[in-house]
């Protein structure tokens, strides 16, 4: 009959950890990666967690003299390709950030010209300035407009 293992004391864990190499720790992380998530933080009532890599990329690898943890987002060319992450990024575009992005996009043109470029009404631009959430695809368009304006000023 198997006996149920007991938890190690803090001292026993410390002794074990002191005898592990970083490669050993990578091996342990990879062994238990299915039971781990990376906590990113909170955004209002939303908790952002990312699972360790489950794809072709190994969850934990050596990177020089440190351990590099790879998340499920490692499998994307651009993290915004993950619709959940893109949604969270868009939710993080608050008040002054949103207003600054729209003001930067308007620089050198009118609000109505910007609305036309985005395929929305001037009223919609006003709503975004006042706090209404900006859809992720429109955020991408606004950022692209700002980058074009910055590059044309160089």
Evaluate if residue 151 carries a pLDDT over 60: yes
CB 91 within 8 A of CB 44: yes
Strand, helix or coil for residue 49: strand
Task: Specify which residues 67 forms β-bridges with.
Answer: 62
From the CB of residue 141, how many other CB atoms can be counted at a distance below 10 Å? 18
Q: What is the pLDDT of residues 14-66, one digit of tens each?
A: 999 999 999 999 999 999 998 998 887 776 566 778 888 877 788 999 999 99
Structure tokens at 86: 């893109």
CA distances from 126 to 3, 4, 31, 87, 146 (A): 67, 63, 52, 21, 18
The reply to whether the predicted model has a pTM over 0.75 is: no
Instruction: List the domain boundaries for the chain.
Output: 10-89, 93-153
Q: What is the pLDDT of residues 98-122, one digit of tens each?
A: 677 788 888 888 889 999 999 999 9
pLDDT for the residue 52: 86
CATH of domain 93-153: 1.10.260
């Amino acid at each position: 009959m198997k006996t149920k293992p007991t938890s190690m004391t803090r001292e026993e864990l410390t002794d074990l950890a002191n005898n592990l190499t970083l490669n050993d720790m990578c091996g342990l992380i990879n062994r238990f990666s299915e039971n781990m998530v990376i906590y990113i933080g909170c955004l209002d009532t939303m908790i952002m967690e990312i699972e360790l890599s489950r794809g072709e990329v190994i969850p934990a690898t050596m990177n020089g003299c440190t351990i590099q943890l790879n998340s499920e987002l490692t499998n994307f060319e651009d993290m915004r390709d993950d619709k959940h992450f893109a949604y969270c990024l868009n939710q993080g575009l608050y008040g002054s950030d949103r207003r600054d992005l729209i003001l930067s996009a308007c620089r050198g043109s009118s609000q109505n010209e910007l609305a036309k470029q985005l395929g929305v009404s001037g009223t919609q631009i006003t709503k975004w300035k006042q706090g209404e959430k900006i859809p992720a695809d429109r955020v991408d368009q606004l950022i692209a407009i700002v980058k074009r304006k910055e590059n044309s000023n160089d």
